[in-house]
Amino acid sequence: MRARVVVMVAGAVGTLLGIRVAGVAQTVQPCTNPDNCVQVGLTNVGTDTGKPGDTVKVGVTFKQAPATLDTGGADKIAALAMTIMQSGGGIGTPLALSDCSFACLGGGNDGGSCTQDSDCPDGQCMVGAVKPQAALAGFKAVVENASCAGGRTHCLCPDAGQTRDNFINLVVYGPNPLPTQGPIDIQKLPEGELVEIGLSIQSGANGNVTLHALNEAADAAQRPQFTALLSVGDKTAVDQTCLPLAVPGTAPCAAAASTSQVAVTDATIKVNGAVTACACDCDTNGRTSGSEITKAVLILGGARPLTDCGPADSNHDGRVSGSDITRGVLALGAGTACVPQ
């Protein structure tokens, strides 16, 4: 049974990284009736409307397919891997994670700083903007592209000029922690909201921003680099993304006339107006004040989080630097005609 756990975990992460068995792409039919399929949704938590500088929240929700008496199947999903892609909004990356601080979760290292899981021998490293819900106790939620640690050239939280991703690579699997000896009972995923994601609306964004889980039925022909198509695995480590089920050694959904067993729901964020915040203009009211410069300096020194003043990060690299403070001081001197970001 432990071998099955390892296979499931490796399969989920492999799918997320886009590691697939080579084959000819097939047209996959969408789920014809969502009530008969696994349901993965992106839902607005609270308001779905904001302006640049505001934070909005999106939940990742999950529902099993109708129950059967089989050992495995689409009603006993125990792991999922997905890419949440953003589009629209007038700029390439209209939304960014609202909190790019990292902390160790679980075991004896709760609250310790980290940039990757290897920094947390008793738990995992999780970025602050992504919060697993209480129902996920016993499972592990991994944002694969959160940090640029290890020399990555792109991620959600750049720290040295790397490219900010406009997608979130998320994997959920269990058990967590993995027992050192068997027997191991792999639990199926709970239903409801699994993860909540805080997103900051970026300067220059305008109009509707769509958040979409890339999937086999809609996106197989045009999946962007470094992303993955949504996949789900059951308690027996069988990929249940499509019917017919994949033959061992072939990619999921590669069979002719495949039909998806997963129904996907998008979320929409409505951005009211392309408000261009000035450097360090924390409340985006069109001018930078001395108190806002002080707040930016505290963020630079680590005394306050970046979420306290998103416009303090004037070049959108995920941190506040000396050059960001300089831009803020110039904006302060310009008064109401401050220097845009």
pLDDT digits (tens, 9 = 90+) for 183-239: 788 999 999 999 999 999 998 888 999 999 999 999 988 889 999 999 999 999 999
Same domain, 203 and 299: no
Count of domains observed in the chain: 2
Given 271, 287, 315, which residue is the final one in a domain? 271
Same structural domain, 9 and 72: yes
Query: What CATH number corresponds to the domain at position 266?
Result: 2.60.40.680
Range picked from 167-171, 184-188, 200-204, 303-307 for highest mean pLDDT? 167-171
Give the pLDDT confidence score for residue 278 in this predicted structure.
80
Q: Is the dihedral of CA 195, 158, 330, 90 positive or negative?
A: negative
Average pLDDT over residues 34-57: 94
pLDDT at 335: 64
Residues 305 and 337 both lie in one domain: yes
Average pLDDT, the chain: 86
pTM for this predicted structure: 0.78
Interatomic CA distance for residues 70 and 72, integer angstroms:
5
Which of the four pLDDT bands, split at 50, 70 and 90, describes residue 111? confident
The answer on 298 and 265 residing in a single domain is: no
Nearest to 285 by CA among 79, 75, 54: 54
Q: Are residues 222 and 307 in the same domain?
A: no
Final residue of a structural domain among 232, 251, 271: 271
One-letter amino acid at 29 equals Q
The verdict on 34 and 83 lying in the same domain is: yes
Same domain assignment for residues 317 and 168: no
Do 258 and 302 lie in one domain? The reply is no
* Judgement on whether residues 189 and 302 belong to the same structural domain of the protein: no
Give the pLDDT band (50/70/90) at residue 307.
Answer: confident
The domain boundary residue, chosen from 271, 299, 323: 271
Q: 241-271 pLDDT, tens per residue?
A: 999 998 888 888 988 889 999 999 999 999 9
Which domain, by its residues, includes 287?
Answer: 276-341
Query: Can you tell me the distance from the alpha carbon of 211 to that of 231, in angstroms, rounded to the nearest whole number?
Result: 17
- 239 and 311 assigned to the same domain: no
Which pLDDT belongs to residue 45?
96
Residues 210 and 62 in one domain: yes
Which has the closest alpha carbon to 12: 154, 142, 195, 168? 142
**189 and 241, same domain (yes or no):** yes
**224/314: higher pLDDT:** 224
Distances (CA, A) of 288 to 53, 155, 173, 272, 335: 14, 29, 45, 21, 7
